[in-house]
Structure 1
Amino acid sequence: MSGAREEPMTFKVGEKVVYPAHGVGIIDSIQTRVIQGKAQTFYMLRILDNDMTIMIPTDNVAAVGLRRVIGKDMVSKVYQILRERKKKKPVDQQTWNRRYREYTEKIKTGSVLEIATVLRDLSVLKADKELSFGERKMLDLARNLLVKELSIAKAHPEEKIKQELEQIFSQ
């Protein structure tokens, strides 16, 4: 973008978006509510995975990390990260809780590339040793978040995406 100020991202009712750490949701409505005497406009976001509704102030979109589902160009970058094995840092030398905190921070960013990194690193680690309970939950969360978004981005059923991921990590 060439301007000095970035325009705030706006969404339409019915649009599918990604909310960090919760995954893909759909904008069900845009509502104005009076809170502490001040009118505020909210996106009413329904998370597809669990039907939870989240109210997001329209002027707070950037701060919470709400974003559009990735496009085809980003899909190939995700798969590239998932297939990358050579840059294996000494993950197994860190304590599990340090890794867990690091992975939690990456997932909180909402970046699909960071989530792909978490999935890759934990999948590679799982092949070498047993994961802690927290790491297994983190692996499942990262896989679930990626499957949902890739399924929408590629317009493929989730089952097909799961098979693709299994194939990548079984090599």
Structure 2
Amino acid sequence: MFQVGDKIMYPMHGAGVIEAIEEKEILGVKQNYYVLKITTGSMQVMIPVEKAEELGIRAVVDACELDDILRNAAKPDSDPSTQWNHRHRVFLDKIKTGNIHDGVEVICELASRSLTKTLSRGEKAVLDQARQIFISEMMLVKGITEDEANDLLDQMVSC
């Protein structure tokens, strides 16, 4: 169980800080909820404590692991002949895992692909989403601004 002040990652939404743990009654059922303030934007999310693990909630990575990821981002190795709708599904599935390595793989793959081909609207949306999720975690782990996190990510994908 996480505590108030813990920094956590919520797949598909990004990283944030638990501001409170509140008991709420919804549809006649009382449950405890994490009140999570997402780092980027002004979104606040309530997550049922009992479903946190099922939803893929995890603690943010530590600074050493993040630095390692930034230094050693995986080079894309997917089959360029794969149809865009299949790639789109695979990329979304990777983002939904909440695994930071899967998210970085999506970013690197789509950033690399954008150098040789125009990304479809769906691919651009997936790339933007994956970037925002990763940036939100970088901001919390490194204690940096969104612009600084964007710059670090741009350096990572340009290597």
Gaps of 5+ in 1: 1-9
Alignment of 1:89 with 2:78, yes or no, is yes
Q: Are the structure 2 counterparts of residues 50 and 167 from structure 1 closer, same or farther at C-alpha, using a change threshold of 3 Å? A: closer
Q: Are the structure 2 counterparts of residues 118 and 157 from structure 1 closer, same or farther at C-alpha, using a change threshold of 3 Å? A: same
Q: Secondary structure at the match of 2:53?
A: helix
Aligned match of 2:127 in 139, 142, 154? 139
User: Which residue does the alignment assign to 1:123?
Assistant: 111
Residue 142 of structure 1: how far off its partner (Å): 1.0
Aligned match of 1:66 in 48, 57, 80? 57
1:41-99, Cα deviation, whole Å (9 max, x unpaired): 111223232333322221211101111111023213422452x32x6231x21111110
Please give the alpha-carbon distance, in whole angstroms, between the structure 2 residues aligned to 1:169 and 1:37.
48
Q: Report the TM-score when normalising by structure 2.
A: 0.88
Aligned match of 1:168 in 148, 156, 159? 156
Letter aligned with residue 54 of structure 1: V
Q: Size of the alignment, in residue pairs?
A: 159
Q: Are the structure 2 counterparts of residues 17 and 131 from structure 1 closer, same or farther at C-alpha, using a change threshold of 3 Å? A: same
Q: Is residue 139–residue 146 contact of structure 2 (8 Å, CA) maintained in 1? A: yes
Instruction: Give the 5 Å matches for 1:108-119.
Output: 108-119=96-107
Deviates more, 1:36-45 or 1:56-65: 36-45
Q: Is residue 81–residue 116 contact of structure 1 (8 Å, CA) maintained in 2? A: no
Taking every aligned residue pair, what percent have the same amino acid on both sides?
31
Q: Secondary structure at the match of 1:130?
A: coil
Q: Is residue 32–residue 41 contact of structure 1 (8 Å, CA) maintained in 2? A: yes
Letter aligned with residue 134 of structure 2: L
Q: Is residue 43–residue 55 contact of structure 1 (8 Å, CA) maintained in 2? A: yes
Q: Are the structure 2 counterparts of residues 53 and 169 from structure 1 closer, same or farther at C-alpha, using a change threshold of 3 Å? A: closer
User: Which residue does the alignment assign to 1:102?
Assistant: 90
User: Which residue does the alignment assign to 1:150?
Assistant: 138
Aligned Cα RMSD in Å? 1.9
Q: Report the TM-score when normalising by structure 1.
A: 0.82
Q: Is residue 27–residue 46 contact of structure 1 (8 Å, CA) maintained in 2? A: yes
Q: Is residue 8–residue 57 contact of structure 2 (8 Å, CA) maintained in 1? A: yes
